[in-house]
Chains A and B, each alone.
Chain A
Amino acid sequence: MKARIREIGWRKASAPALTRRYRRFYQLVFCGALCLGFAAPVQASVRAWGCLLYASNADTALDLPPPLAHYDVPLRRFLGYSNYRVIAQREIAVENQAENLLVSAGALQVLLTSLSSSLDGKYLVGLLFVEGNKQVMETQAKVTQGSPLFIRGPDWRDGQIIIVVMLAPSLRS
């Protein structure tokens, strides 16, 4: 009986300490979650987007993807085609330095061979354009997030294939 009373007394006395300990534990969990929440976007901050456009002067509607929505006038002016249609597009999260397939259609493939940030806050990207088993062109360019690089590819049907590569924080909105 005495032992029981002592136990109840001990429980009552240690209750605030336990509550404090639980509160501290939940505070730590909250801080950890907060840190992870901030760290996650930093890790997945660089995303690469690749697109293959079919440019022609056919009498069809313009079908530019959202990242190129404001490029309708420059594209028409500089490439000389009035209509653009998306053949393939893909967005990848660049997580390692290995060769990443950015976008492909038929025998055409565009690979991201390297990606590194430069001192001026821009990115150095390495691209490889492959047709079938044949390497066509390798290029290195300095870009920023949201500045696309256009490559005039092979002719197809009545038009031409245009390759677009761009780095973006997130294009999945």
Chain B
Amino acid sequence: MKTFEQKFTAWLDGMLGRDELLSFETKHPALHQDKAEYLKLKSLLRKSLHRRELENPEFFSSQIMEQIRREADATTRSSCRRLFGLPRLVWGGICALSLGLALFFTMIPHADFSDPRAKYVAEVLKTTTVDPKVKATVENQKEMTVIKLEGLDKLPPEEDLRH
């Protein structure tokens, strides 16, 4: 899809195809006068000005290339600044922090585990005693699980258990 400028310059230079020329001229009839003036000026300039060969054409091309490079750099820098600008970074940080906090408080259980009523109580699966005199019974309470050993001999009171 050609822009108006592309079509216009091609039209002035007589480079438009037949179909394009027809559609362009029907769309912009007012431009005929401009073209006539342009052609008049062109012929006038050709007559009065002598054609001169450029002595150093590389200079101009290097200037043009430098200009293009400068413009391209400026565009990249500005797009970078737009992407990673300070306000955006600040907002990004705030959003990430709030998301992290929200996930922390919603996904991670934070019950008071030091409270016996708030946590899982141990579950005894199996108990076996070697001595038939000793009987082990499991008492499952709401806050704690206790294995009760009955039939054990009483430890001698003089036995020092601290050593």
Contacts and interface: CB of A to CB of B under 8 A. Distances in A.
Interface stretch (B56-64, B68-76, B95-103, B147-155): B147-155
Contacts, number: 125
Majority SS of interface residues in chain A?
strand
B120 to A, nearest CB: 5
A154 B160 CA distance: 14
Contacts of B113: 146
A71 B144 contact: yes
Nearest to A54: B161
Interface string B127-140: 11111001010010
Contacts of A135: 130
Contacts of A155: 152, 154-155
A101 B13 CA distance: 99
B162 interface: yes
Contact of B114 (A70, A136, A161): A70
Given A106-B160, A144-B119, A152 B141 contact: no
Contacts of B152: 131, 136, 153-155
Interface in B8-29: none
B147 A149 contact: yes
Interface string A63-92: 000000111001100110000000110000
A52 B134 CA distance: 20
B149 A154 contact: yes
Contacts of A54: 161
A137 interface: yes
A77 to B, nearest CB: 8
Interface string A132-154: 00111111111110111111111
B94 interface: no
A154 B155 CA distance: 7
Nearest to A152: B148
Contacts of B34: none
B161 A105 contact: yes
B115 interface: yes
26 contacts: A71-B143, A74-B116, A78-B146, A136-B129, A136-B130, A136-B134, A136-B152, A137-B134, A137-B149, A138-B129, A139-B124, A139-B136, A141-B122, A142-B123, A143-B123, A144-B119, A144-B120, A144-B122, A147-B122, A148-B144, A149-B145, A152-B147, A152-B148, A153-B152, A155-B154, A156-B155
Given A124-B125, A141-B145, 8 more contacts: A69-B114, A74-B141, A88-B162, A138-B130, A142-B122, A144-B122, A154-B149, A156-B159
